[in-house]
């Protein structure tokens, strides 16, 4: 990303950088990858989407453990 998305560019604000990166990510997902020779979105749909599990419907309890240093 450092050498592709923002290389040689300057931005007037952090919001401008965020907007540029949001557009760049959408375009990068549609381009043919140099190593795999396929679009990342196609590879994700084919190989990885099925591995995602649904989020639990109930709230997961938050547990904390406080440790004090001596």
Whether residue 11 is predicted with pLDDT greater than 70 in this model: the reply is yes
The residue-averaged pLDDT of 36-53 equals 91
Establish how many alpha carbons lie within 13 A of residue 22's alpha carbon, considering only the half-sphere containing its beta carbon: 6
Distance CA 38, CA 15 (A): 31
Give CA separation, 26 vs 8, 57, 59, in Å. Answer: 20, 30, 32
pLDDT tens track for 19-41: 999 999 888 888 899 899 999 99
Whole-number Å distance between alpha carbons of 39 and 42: 5
Q: What is the pTM of this model?
A: 0.54
Please report the pLDDT score of residue 23 as a whole number: 92
pLDDT value at position 13? 94
Q: What distance in Å separates the CA atoms of residue 58 and residue 61, rounded to the nearest whole number?
A: 9
41-67 average pLDDT score: 87
Name the average pLDDT for the chain: 87
């Amino acid at each position: 990303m450092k050498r592709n998305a923002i290389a040689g560019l300057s931005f007037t604000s952090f919001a401008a950088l965020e907007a540029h990166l949001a557009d760049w990510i959408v375009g990068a997902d549609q381009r043919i990858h140099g190593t795999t020779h396929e679009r990342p979105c196609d590879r994700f749909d084919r190989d990885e989407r099925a591995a995602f599990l649904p989020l639990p419907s109930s709230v997961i309890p938050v547990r904390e453990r406080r440790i004090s240093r001596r």
